[in-house]
Amino acid sequence: MTKYVVKRILFMFLTMFVITVMCFVLIKLLPLPAVREMGRDINLVLAKREKMGYNKPIMVQFFLYLKSIFTEWDWGVGEQMYEGLGIWDVMMQKLPYTIVVNLYSILLSIPLGLGLGIYAALKKNKWQDAVISTMVMVFISVPSYVYAFLVQYIFCFKLNWFPLQLASLSQAGSLVSGKMFVSMVPAIMSLSFGSIAGFTRYTRAELSEVLTGDYMLLARTKGLTKAQAISRHALRNAMVVILPMIIGEFIGILGGSMIIENIFGIPGIGNLYVNSINVRDYNFFMALNIFYTLIGLVSGIVIDISYGFIDPRIRMGSKK
Amino acid sequence: MMEEKMNRDIPKIAKEKFAFVKRTDRIHDERLQTKAVGYLGDAWNRFRTNKSAVVAFILILVLLLFALIVPVVSNYTITFRDGYYKTVLPKAGIFKNSGFWDGGKRETQNEAGYLYLNAIGAENGKSAVMKEYGSFNDSTGARFYDLRIDSYNSVGYVYVNLSDAEYKALMEYQDKSGIQVFYPLAATHSKHFVLGNDGANFWYKLANESQGNSGAPVLDENGHYINNYLFSDDPEKAGYTGSRIAGDGENGVWYTYAQKNQTGYKARVDYDEYFFYRNGFHASFLFGTNQYGQDILTCLAVGARFSLILAICVATINFCLGIIYGSIEGYYGGAVDMIMERISDILASVPFMVVATLFQLHLASKVGPVVSLLFAFIMTGWVGTAARVRTQFYRFKGQEYVLAARTLGASDRRIIFKHIFPNSLGTIVTGAVMTIPGVIFSESMLSYLHIINLDTSSTVTSIGTMLANGNGYLNTFPHIIMFPAIFIAILEISFNLFGNGLRDALNPSLRGADN
């Protein structure tokens, strides 16, 4: 197990390195955008460019880039947006919004999704199951931005229950205040429909498979009630598959949804990424590429390893 | 040894006791009464019984036909842009005056707005107000009207600049058809109005003639509008010989229908009739128009066609690449597999957004946004198919029935095509089909976020571009975003249902599972 984990992590670093090099070279091959005159920190940006060796060969620039990250934790400064501000500081300022919105969404979708999935599995092939499964099919297929438009139109415009845009930090006081929560509700709803449906589908599939297992029959035969058998045997076995999925979702919180953040004006990390592409700020773009790649890789590893920890029957890295 | 033993156990039977049975008949096996069901026949049988998959398949066909046929039969093209019929509402002929899908919208208007809208109909008989639900006074005593407004008729009149020939031709058309197109110029047109099509709709006497007027008229004692036309004593001013509106020419006062300017004539026309004269049909947009005056129905069909063609191209190319790559991995195994697997692992770890953006930044200026998008989808897209193919190879390579086939002397070729292939086909083909909705979704997301811009060439659009166009109009004109959103929702649901049905149908181990 340890050997497997170490191997996976080492390979993750290799992958990370290769992708970073590719990204860096491809970005450096693009024409360098001029520093905009409007920023008061134009000299700072120019000095930064000098320090990062913008007139040296690309490979030298890459090592300077890595050096400044590892020695000073310096990811560069914004050139086309947030001029002169440190990339890392801006990212850390945006990240809480993304985390809070997605956390609310997950805290809503996990219990709902699991509950609906369990209910559907227990009522398998009855009308309740048919209704839930149909809804799941619809909600899993329809893209999240379609819900976002619907939610925005119905709840923000027609019913006027929620504000159209996110409350600003100064208005709401803090990120977790009630006022902030209310203004986040449309985004949370749009994010949750899809993930509720996803959880429901997996739970239903897993649980209904587990329920037909021989050990369930044995549990009933030895005198457990149906509820006992389900909660002690079926659910635990179904969790082997569902729990890694939940863990994956929790890591995914960091990345957030670019399109939902864009629609509801959440100043999160996804929005920052899209903006950096649209204004061609390559320093932000590079840093966020690394960020997103890392999230993907880490969540993949954590999910795989968690299978081994949750289910003692699975031996990671074994030949058979 | 065995033989000896057997011989010992069987008692001796006298030879005479044996007799021939059916000596003259030849003995045959019983002929099979049923027809053999092949792989595809079996798949079709299973697919047919899956109602939702069949419905989904029909829906996909309908959407495909929609995308192919509508651009051909539509009155409009994607380059069609009308400067006046902007953001007009969806209108279907069969729902005329029904209060639903008839190009109307319920709105509350103040007194001035109400009279402004009514004035349009008062002149040419095409009322911009479809229905009055009622009126009320607010706390300050101002009167408000609850109306259903026709978004087509409320365009009303426009000023057009016609060349000499165009002017004459339009007059001729007017006389021949008997439809009044020209209407007298309004005297206030000399002032600069932005409201009411540069003042073309203010044909009546205004209560306040300053620039920031509200459009409120002065009414006579009977509650009628008082016209404010330009007039002279010359009935043929600016060469106008066409038919005239009622009430013209009384007491030797002739209304002026056109004015000569540097390029020709400036005239005031009924836009509905002028549109008919120019295009040969009355403006009616089944799905309404967007903020550029483009027909949403045509755009949607062209966009859907683009999205579907792109998705099918990507799915086909990825399918081929993935099968080649995956089968090499699965067939050779060992070190080759290990190295190839690491390469595809690295590619799979690059977020799609990064690939799409980098391709866009590097290639869009050289080969255009569409081709670079296609490259981006292919760059990482085949990894999924390759992984599926490889897994299938590994899964079935060690199976007992493959071993059995090999023991019976089957060749590699026979094992692959007769035993492994049918079993893995379901998963692989379903995977390929499911890339289609995935590509359409990704494309729409990238267009929506303006990471790719297809708008640069006005002959191409995509569903995502249309969604992005409607983004700022969700509150005021939800129809702009609604139709593309519904389209993509139906498409995604159909493909998912169809994919599920296909997976079950192509899985031969489910044969006879239901009955």
Q: Which residues contact B361 (CB under 8 A, 6 or more apart)?
A: A30, A280
Could you tell me how many CB contacts below 8 A there are between chain A and chain B?
92
Does residue B24 belong to any structural domain of this protein? no
Reported as a single tens digit per residue, the pLDDT across A21-37 is 999 999 888 888 777 66
Does A273 lie at the interface with B, CB-CB under 8 angstroms?
A: yes
Q: Which two tokens stand for residue B4?
A: 């000896």
Reported as a single tens digit per residue, the pLDDT across A63-102 is 888 888 888 888 888 888 887 788 899 999 889 999 999 9
Mutation choice for B interface testing from A22, A24, A258, A277 by most B CBs within 10 A: A277
Tell me, what DSSP letter sits at residue B227? B
Inform me whether the pLDDT recorded for B60 exceeds 90. Answer: yes
Q: Are residues B485 and B369 in the same domain?
A: yes
Does residue B73 belong to any structural domain of this protein? no
Mean pLDDT of B142-146: 85
Percent of chain B whose predicted confidence (pLDDT) is above 70: 93
Which position has the token pair 């083909």? B429
Cβ atoms of A180 and A101 closer than 8 Å: no
Q: What is the CATH number of domain A88-281+295-310?
A: 1.10.3720.10
Mutation choice for B interface testing from A135, A140, A141 by most B CBs within 10 A: A141
What pLDDT was estimated at residue B515? 47
Q: Which residues contact B188 (CB under 8 A, 6 or more apart)?
A: B199, B202, B206, B209, B228
Half-sphere exposure of B395 (CA within 13 A, CB side): 14
Domain boundary among B279, B302, B337: B279
What pLDDT was estimated at residue A174? 77
Q: Are residues B271 and B307 in the same domain?
A: no
Contact yes or no for A138 and B358 at CB 8 A: no
Query: How far apart (Å, rounded) are the C-alpha atoms in residues B213 and B198?
Result: 12
What pLDDT was estimated at residue B64? 93
Contact yes or no for B445 and A153 at CB 8 A: no
Query: How far apart (Å, rounded) are the C-alpha atoms in residues B507 and B427?
Result: 8
Q: Are residues B260 and B303 in the same domain?
A: no
Q: Are residues B223 and B352 in the same domain?
A: no
Q: Count of CB atoms within 10 A of residue A90's CB?
A: 20
Query: How far apart (Å, rounded) are the C-alpha atoms in residues B88 and A114?
Result: 45
Q: Are residues B202 and B309 in the same domain?
A: no
Does A17 lie at the interface with B, CB-CB under 8 angstroms?
A: no
Inform me whether the pLDDT recorded for B435 exceeds 80. Answer: yes
Contact yes or no for A273 and B353 at CB 8 A: yes
Q: How many helices (H) and strands (E) does chain B have?
A: 16, 9
Domain total in chain B: 2
Q: Are residues B423 and B499 in the same domain?
A: yes
What pLDDT was estimated at residue B457? 59
Mean pLDDT of B389-397: 82
Distance of CA A292 to the CA centre of its chain: 9
What pLDDT was estimated at residue B217? 78
Domain boundary among B279, B304, B334: B279
Does A289 lie at the interface with B, CB-CB under 8 angstroms?
A: yes
Q: Which of A30, A259, A293 minimises the CB distance to B351? A: A293
Inform me whether the pLDDT recorded for A133 exceeds 70. Answer: yes
Q: Are residues B418 and B473 in the same domain?
A: yes
Element (H, E) at B105: strand B104-110
Domain boundary among B255, B279, B303: B279
Q: Which of A11, A141, A292 minimises the CB distance to B493? A: A141
| Residue spans per domain, chain A | 88-281+295-310
Q: Are residues B408 and B457 in the same domain?
A: yes
Q: Which two tokens stand for residue B389?
A: 């193919």
Nearest 5°: phi and psi at B70? -55, -45
Inform me whether the pLDDT recorded for A48 exceeds 80. Answer: no
Tell me, what DSSP letter sits at residue B79? T
Long-range CB pairs of B175-180 (<8 Å, 24+ gap) are B175/B242, B175/B243, B178/B243, B179/B273, B179/B276, B180/B124, B180/B243, B180/B245, B180/B270, B180/B273
Q: In sequence order, what DSSP letters do the residues of A130-191 get, joined into one string?
A: HHHHHHHHHHHHS-HHHHHHHHIIIIIIIS--S-SSPPPHHHHSSTTSHHHHHHHHHHHHHH
What pLDDT was estimated at residue A120? 92
Mean pLDDT of A45-55: 78
Element (H, E) at B183: strand B182-183
Distance of CA A243 to the CA centre of its chain: 16
Contact yes or no for B451 and A277 at CB 8 A: yes
Reported as a single tens digit per residue, the pLDDT across A181-222 is 888 899 999 999 989 999 999 899 888 888 888 888 898 899
Q: Which of A19, A262, A277 minimises the CB distance to B349? A: A19
Reported as a single tens digit per residue, the pLDDT across B465-501 is 888 888 888 888 888 888 999 999 999 999 999 988 8
- Give the pLDDT band (50/70/90) at residue A41: low
What pLDDT was estimated at residue B487? 92
Mean pLDDT of B80-86: 83
What part of A 116-145 touches B (C-beta under 8 Å)? 137-138, 140-143, 145
- Give the pLDDT band (50/70/90) at residue B17: confident
Q: Which residues contact B206 (CB under 8 A, 6 or more apart)?
A: B188, B213, B215, B216, B217, B218, B228
Cβ atoms of A242 and A306 closer than 8 Å: no
Mean pLDDT of B205-216: 69
Distance of CA A280 to the CA centre of its chain: 24
User: Considering only CA atoms, which of A225, A300, A238 is closest in space to residue A113?
Assistant: A238
ipTM of the predicted assembly exceeds 0.85: yes
Q: Are residues B262 and B342 in the same domain?
A: no
Q: Which of B342, B448, B492 minimises the CB distance to A141? A: B492
Q: Which of A15, A30, A152 minimises the CB distance to B346? A: A15
Distance (Å) from the C-alpha of residue A146 to the closest C-alpha of chain B?
6
Collapsed DSSP state (helix, strand, coil) of residue A66: helix
Distance of CA B499 to the CA centre of its chain: 21
Name every residue in B having a CB less than 8 A away from some CB of A: 342, 345-346, 349-351, 353-354, 357-358, 361-362, 437, 441, 444-445, 448-451, 467, 471, 474-475, 478, 481-482, 485, 488-489, 492-493, 495-497
Contact yes or no for B358 and A26 at CB 8 A: yes
Host domain of residue B318: 60-64+293-510
Q: Are residues B198 and B335 in the same domain?
A: no
Q: How many helices (H) and strands (E) does chain A have?
A: 14, 0
Distance of CA B7 to the CA centre of its chain: 83
Q: Which chain B residue shows the shortest CA-CA distance from A150?
A: B482
Does residue B12 belong to any structural domain of this protein? no
Query: How far apart (Å, rounded) are the C-alpha atoms in residues B103 and B93?
Result: 10
